[in-house]
Structure 1
Amino acid sequence: MSGKLKEYIERLGTVWVEGEITQWGLSGGNAYGKVKDLSEDVTLSFRVWSTTLMKLKEEFRQGDRVVALVKSEWWPKGGTLTMQVYDIRHVGVGDLLAKLEALRRKLADEGLFDLDRKQRLPFLPGCIGLVTAKDSDAEKDVLRNAQLRWPAVNFRIRYATMQGDRAWSEVSGAIKSLDADPEVDVIIVARGGGDFQNLLPFSDERLIRVVAECRTPVVSAIGHEADHPLLDDVADLRASTPTDAAKRVVPDISDELARVRQARGRMAVRATGLVSAEIDRLASIRSRPVLADPDRIVSDRAEELTRWVARGAELVDYHLERAGLRIVELRGQLRTLSPQGTLERGYAIARLPSGAVLRRAADAVAGERIRLTLASGELAATVDDDRTPVADQS
């Protein structure tokens, strides 16, 4: 559980606290002590590393009222909470910090710090605008590191006072000048650190609003990692130092050339693979019978067509022969069943005067004339008393 608590506390950020030093001592170049929050009567232990002590321009002792930038630390073995001090000043700056915090909240509420307002930096800027003090270490750091990474990089430099009462106006004018230049792709505002009061111009509301209105991406490289003026919040990118700004804005030519070589290698492998696959595919297609021996299709189909033609002729002859035999058979059956055929065998058809066929002798009346139809022609006859028909000679 103590380890998890340490992980949670380490994720917390820094915070400014105000109180009275109740204990102060040096050991091994580091400072250890305690600070008491007078409003809540709470005492916290703190530690100041020697590297931080060397940057401090003021001396501290027990009983001093101070404001300190601290970060919480948890010691799992002892189960104790201490504060690591990144910056410490006498309490005179407490009011300024409160005003800056109020201004920070005001500008944040207006949306000036929103992430969706941030502009993306160009991959390789054609021209970089630099706002800095003339002959400053910040200028040298930015130029040197940028040219080491990309020797052909171009800069357009605007010098300005980077501390004091005129700083905000000169920096604002330089930024406006570079923003109006269509050749400038990104603007870096660089200063090589300083104490809290020297960095106050970069939290001036008027400067912050000028940066917020810029159409060109702005990179803030003010102070060191622990410094946090309001310019860092409104800028499109915050760099921890001027050197970091150069590295964030300008790509490394050696890295980019290595990426190009890798990309070309991958493209060559891919292209070679595609060509080899297509060669194999063409070889496979060419080996198919339809392409290996195209005449075979015609010859095979010609033989098949000849067979079907011969078969068709045989079937036509067969069906014609069967149809002829059927006609002869039907003709014979028709002749057999025809009344004419019966008459040709010697039979005759007797009809009464009414035209009805005489079938029985009893149906005939003596003396009645009837007609006899023969195979060829007709005869008239008269019925006698014994129902024996007598041919009429008249």
Structure 2
Amino acid sequence: MRRPILCAKQHAPSAIAAGDIRFEKRHVVVIQPPKSTPDAPWPVSVVSELVRDWIARLGSVWIEGELTGWSIRGGHAYGKIKDLDADATLSVTAWRSVVQRLDGEFKQGDRVIASIKPDFWVKGGTLSMQVSDLRHVGLGDLLERLERLRKQLAAEGLFADERKKPLPFLPGTIGLITGRESDAEKDVRRNSELRWPAVQFRTIHTPVQGERTVAEVSAALRELDADPEVDVIIVARGGGDFQHLLPFSDESLVRLVATLSTPVVSAIGHEADRPILDDVADLRASTPTDAAKRVVPDVAEELAGVQQARARILQRIVDRVRSESNALESLVSRPALANPSWIIDQRGEELMRASQRGEELITRRIDREHDRLDSLARHLRGLSPQGTLERGYSIVERVDGDAKSLVTGWQDAPASTELRIRTADGRISASSLGGEAIITPGAPDGATEANVE
């Protein structure tokens, strides 16, 4: 069977009525009015028919999203399918005949694919999406997508240990993001207050499943991170179906957590298929109760630790005092401390012996130097002119008036020369009788002797 081809023909507005569409051979002829003007406006029915026809050309399409607001009334199903990433939603309707042949039950939060056909209701001017088939997205497909995202984020370093922030030892205020009146909130608060009664909370209630979860949890994270009094943030949910936890694997949410300056604890409580938030958070807690235990110290344990530390300190003080007392007793038992004058007497005797040795050394040194000085004096005297005179030698001087000259040879004292002879103890006046040369055996050439009267 050949499909008809849509075409249009222009006619006067007065000649057009709703539903003026006819088949001519293989063509669907849409009677279309000329361009509208203030003087020649289009009837509402014409516009409605044109809108319906153009929408009908889209035909059936398959879409994927999260099922929200799903309800059944009078056998018909009404709901919305929200885009998984963008902020876009379509209202859908499944008639009773379609609902009866659907495989399985559907509820809010389910990830689905649907075959829909847009339909414009001319009379009411509304657009609806007619569901002809509705299916759950396979769990394996979801897991595969999450695993790809997990690997991508891991490759970017968002799960690295070095970027995880340490938790404070004792948080002043804990930021808590959880569902209103949820068991998760009760578990976190009760266990935290049991461990440390003075702990403070700033709680923001958000949806923990469904289409608003990502947006509201993200807004709560930003608000708590901007609060300077909040020291740590706990995101808590009490487990649940795998698909209900999918918002906590949303890429925009986990990337936001990676940028926060406040430590984040993930307490979603799903062991088998944990959400990606567990990997990017600074700490993963298995349950909300575990989160309270990991974030808040136990006052009883801390007091016990303080008591143990105090006991260890006291014991060390006692041991140190005992050790020092033993050392002091050992010192006191020594002779020097038992009889303090003993060491003075001992050192006094050593000082006296040293003094005596010093005096003896000085005396011997003085005696040696005195003997050496005497020897040098004798040697010096022997070498001096006076010493020579004392050995029997004399000095002969020629007297010429007041002038004096030394006689070194017989020729210096001819006859009648007035002489003065100097001895060791005086002078002798004499007169030369003349002289002659005397050869002295062994004497140098020219040595002579002279006669003196």
Provide the TM-score with structure 2 as the length reference. 0.54
- How do 1:179-218 residues align onto structure 2 when only pairs under 5 Å count? 179-218=225-264
Q: Are residues 109 and 321 of structure 1, via their aligned partners in 2, closer, same or farther at CA, if it must alter by over 3 Å? A: closer
Q: Tell me the amino acid that sits aligned with residue 340 of structure 1.
A: L
Q: Tell me the amino acid that sits aligned with residue 104 of structure 1.
A: R
The structure carrying a bigger helix percent of its residues is 1
Q: Are residues 93 and 372 of structure 1, via their aligned partners in 2, closer, same or farther at CA, if it must alter by over 3 Å? A: closer
The equivalent residue for 1:341 is 390
**Aligned equivalents of 1:384, 1:274: Cα separation in 2:** 112
CA distances 1:344-376 after superposition (whole Å, capped 9, x unpaired): 9xx99799x993445xxxx999x9557684744
| Offset, 1:297 | 7.1
The equivalent residue for 1:232 is 278
- How do 1:1-394 residues align onto structure 2 when only pairs under 5 Å count? 92-284=138-330, 292-293=340-341, 295-296=344-345, 299-300=348-349, 303-304=352-353, 307=356, 311=360, 314-315=363-364, 318=367, 322=371, 338-341=387-390, 343=392, 355-357=407-409, 368=415, 373=421, 375=423, 376-383=427-434
**Aligned equivalents of 1:390, 1:100: Cα separation in 2:** 149
| Offset, 1:164 | 1.0
| Offset, 1:129 | 1.4
- Which 5+ residue runs of structure 1 have no aligned equivalent? 1-57, 60-89
Percent identity over the alignment is 47
> SS of the residue aligned with 2:230?
coil
| Offset, 1:179 | 1.6
CA distances 1:133-158 after superposition (whole Å, capped 9, x unpaired): 12222122222222232233222221
> SS of the residue aligned with 2:260?
coil
| Offset, 1:238 | 1.0
| Offset, 1:243 | 1.6
Q: Are residues 171 and 378 of structure 1, via their aligned partners in 2, closer, same or farther at CA, if it must alter by over 3 Å? A: same
> SS of the residue aligned with 1:262?
helix
- Which 5+ residue runs of structure 2 have no aligned equivalent? 1-103, 106-135, 399-404, 439-449
Q: Are residues 116 and 320 of structure 1, via their aligned partners in 2, closer, same or farther at CA, if it must alter by over 3 Å? A: closer
The equivalent residue for 2:41 is none
| Offset, 1:115 | 2.2
> SS of the residue aligned with 1:155?
strand
- Measured on the aligned residues, the alpha-carbon RMSD in Å equals 4.2
CA distances 1:201-223 after superposition (whole Å, capped 9, x unpaired): 11122222322222111111113
Whether the 8 Å CA contact 1:372–1:381 is kept in 2: the answer is no
Q: Tell me the amino acid that sits aligned with residue 228 of structure 1.
A: R
Q: Are residues 312 and 190 of structure 1, via their aligned partners in 2, closer, same or farther at CA, if it must alter by over 3 Å? A: same
Whether the 8 Å CA contact 1:208–1:234 is kept in 2: the answer is yes
**Aligned equivalents of 2:268, 2:361: Cα separation in 1:** 100
Q: Tell me the amino acid that sits aligned with residue 177 of structure 1.
A: E
Whether the 8 Å CA contact 1:130–1:158 is kept in 2: the answer is yes
Whether the 8 Å CA contact 1:364–1:383 is kept in 2: the answer is no
Q: Are residues 135 and 377 of structure 1, via their aligned partners in 2, closer, same or farther at CA, if it must alter by over 3 Å? A: same
The equivalent residue for 1:62 is none
| Offset, 1:340 | 3.1
**Aligned equivalents of 1:128, 1:154: Cα separation in 2:** 6
Whether the 8 Å CA contact 2:238–2:268 is kept in 1: the answer is yes
**Aligned equivalents of 1:244, 1:296: Cα separation in 2:** 77
| Offset, 1:325 | 6.6
Q: Tell me the amino acid that sits aligned with residue 382 of structure 1.
A: L
**Aligned equivalents of 2:158, 2:262: Cα separation in 1:** 15
| Offset, 1:264 | 1.9
Q: Are residues 135 and 298 of structure 1, via their aligned partners in 2, closer, same or farther at CA, if it must alter by over 3 Å? A: same
CA distances 1:278-322 after superposition (whole Å, capped 9, x unpaired): 344445555666662375477446635763575477547745874
Whether the 8 Å CA contact 1:191–1:222 is kept in 2: the answer is yes
**Structure 1 range deviating more: 370-379 or 214-223:** 370-379
| Offset, 1:244 | 1.4
Q: How many residues align?
A: 296
**Aligned equivalents of 2:362, 2:273: Cα separation in 1:** 106
| Offset, 1:165 | 0.9
| Offset, 1:258 | 2.5
Larger Rg: 2
CA distances 1:211-237 after superposition (whole Å, capped 9, x unpaired): 222211111111321131111121111
Provide the TM-score with structure 1 as the length reference. 0.61
> SS of the residue aligned with 2:138?
helix
**Aligned equivalents of 1:348, 1:264: Cα separation in 2:** 110
Q: Tell me the amino acid that sits aligned with residue 164 of structure 1.
A: G
Q: Tell me the amino acid that sits aligned with residue 378 of structure 1.
A: S
Q: Are residues 173 and 390 of structure 1, via their aligned partners in 2, closer, same or farther at CA, if it must alter by over 3 Å? A: closer
> SS of the residue aligned with 2:198?
coil
**Aligned equivalents of 2:374, 2:254: Cα separation in 1:** 116
The equivalent residue for 1:43 is none
Q: Which has the higher contact order (CA 8 A, sep 6+)?
A: 1
